């Protein structure tokens, strides 16, 4: 793959989407508007319900392998692609995250781990199949404002149902522990929004109206890592994406992820990944990527 141009392609929600939502049946091979086997990211969310089949996907440098039934959720900005799929059956639904209930969206962002394996005999599995099928049928009808509201309501109902299943599978926690988890989840949400600009733990603590010490103690007790490590890892993840998918120099990437001193950025990158930025690019990009797996 040497000397080959790379860029991170970001795709918008399809113009075929109704009410900011588009559902595609996996058995419709011509439904995809772009090549999903090539690394890319989207400016919207994607939820896949795999009813049957074997799947091998890549999401932000992690290989996700599973046999259906399962759910997979890809959030905006995550670089992903399909490595291999055998005999797929199910649905892929793309949607604008601004249309969702904020509480449900935050729950999915914080608690959803890919893949979310399902029990074929469970009531939950049967319910989400019904809802997916209904969304597909309604989408095929002639559009009007009430139909669009129906699709939106069905999607929020589907995601609320999934959220309820996530919560049901969580261990019972004490009220004090629950407050700590809320702080941690809000902190993670802020990182996704501000990691390029906010590099100091105090900035996040201020936004959450708590002390820096309290934020750090809370996050470290729940994750095992201090606040500063999470901020750095968010920056390094974006740097990895840019190193692999673009031709930007290390200096340009350092600036883009919020570091004004490229030398410091290089040292931080090696500390976290055990590779220099150029070593990472050579190892993961300047050879056949698929051979790594």
pLDDT tens, residue by residue, 137-172: 998 888 777 888 898 899 999 999 999 999 887 765
The pLDDT of residue 156 is 92
- pLDDT for 6 equals 54
User: How many residues does the structure list for the chain?
Assistant: 293
Write down the pTM of the prediction. 0.74
Would you state the pLDDT for residue 281? 87
Which pLDDT does position 266 carry in this prediction?
96
- Residue 77 is predicted with a pLDDT of 80
Tens-digit pLDDT string for the chain (293 aa)? 344 445 678 888 888 887 789 999 998 756 566 778 888 888 899 999 999 999 999 998 889 999 999 999 999 888 899 999 999 999 999 998 878 887 888 888 888 999 999 999 999 999 999 999 999 999 888 877 788 889 889 999 999 999 999 988 776 545 555 888 889 989 998 999 999 999 999 999 999 999 999 999 999 988 889 999 999 999 999 999 899 888 899 999 999 999 999 999 999 999 999 999 999 888 777 654 443 33
> Domains of the chain by range and CATH?
10-168 (2.60.120.280), 175-292 (1.10.10.60)
Write down the pLDDT at residue 290: 40
To which residue do tokens 């729940």 refer? Answer: 222
- Looking at residue 66, what is its pLDDT? 96
Whole-angstrom distance, CA of residue 85 vs CA of residue 87: 7
Per the DSSP assignment, residues forming a β-bridge with 217 are: none
R_g (Cα) of the chain, nearest Å = 20
Report strand pairing: 80-95 vs 70-74. Answer: unpaired
pLDDT at residue 292, rounded to an integer: 36
Q: Using alpha carbons, select from 159, 158, 136, 138 the residue that is nearest to residue 147.
A: 138
Q: Which residues of 112-139 are buried (b: 16+ CB within 10 A; e: fewer)?
A: bebbbebeeeeeebeebbebbebbeebb
Q: CB–CB of 39/113 below 8 Å? A: no
Per-residue model confidence (pLDDT) at position 33: 64
Run of H or E including 203: helix 201-207
What kind and span of H or E run contains 174? none
The answer for 143, left when phi > 0, alpha when psi is -120 to 50, beta otherwise, is beta
List the structure tokens of 132.
């997916």
Is the previous residue joined to 69 through a cis bond, with omega within 30 degrees of 0? yes
107, 166 Cβ separation under 8 angstroms: yes
Check residue 83 and give its pLDDT.
Answer: 94
Could you give the CA distance from residue 117 to residue 65 in angstroms, rounded to a whole number? 11
* CA 265 to chain CA centroid, nearest Å: 25
Interatomic CA distance for residues 270 and 247, integer angstroms: 20
């Amino acid at each position: 793959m040497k000397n080959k141009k790379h860029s991170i392609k970001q795709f918008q929600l399809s113009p075929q989407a109704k009410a900011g939502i588009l559902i595609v049946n996996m058995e419709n091979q011509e439904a995809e508007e772009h090549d999903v086997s090539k690394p890319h990211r989207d400016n919207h969310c994607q939820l896949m319900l795999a009813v049957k089949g074997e799947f091998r996907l890549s999401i932000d440098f992690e290989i996700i392998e599973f046999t259906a039934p399962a759910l997979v959720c890809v959030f905006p900005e995550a670089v992903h692609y399909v490595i291999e799929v055998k005999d797929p059956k199910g649905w892929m639904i793309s949607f604008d995250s601004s249309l969702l209930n904020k509480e449900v969206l935050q729950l999915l962002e914080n608690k959803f781990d890919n893949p979310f394996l399902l029990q074929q005999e469970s009531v939950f599995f049967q319910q989400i199949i019904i809802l997916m099928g209904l969304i597909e049928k309604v989408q095929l009808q002639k559009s009007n404002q009430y139909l669009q509201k129906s699709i939106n309501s069905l999607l929020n109902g589907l995601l609320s149902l999934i959220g309820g299943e996530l919560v049901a599978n969580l261990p019972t926690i004490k009220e004090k522990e629950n407050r700590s988890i809320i702080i941690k989840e809000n902190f993670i949400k802020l990182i996704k929004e501000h990691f390029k600009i906010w590099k100091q733990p105090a900035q996040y603590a201020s936004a959450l109206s708590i002390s820096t010490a309290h934020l750090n103690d809370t996050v470290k007790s729940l994750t095992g890592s201090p606040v500063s490590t999470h901020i750095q890892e968010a920056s390094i993840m974006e740097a990895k994406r840019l190193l692999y998918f673009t031709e930007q120099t290390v200096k340009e990437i350092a600036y883009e992820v919020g570091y004004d001193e490229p030398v410091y950025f290089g040292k931080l990158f090696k500390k976290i990944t055990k590779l220099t930025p150029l070593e990472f690019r050579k190892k993961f990009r300047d050879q056949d990527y698929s051979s790594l797996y």
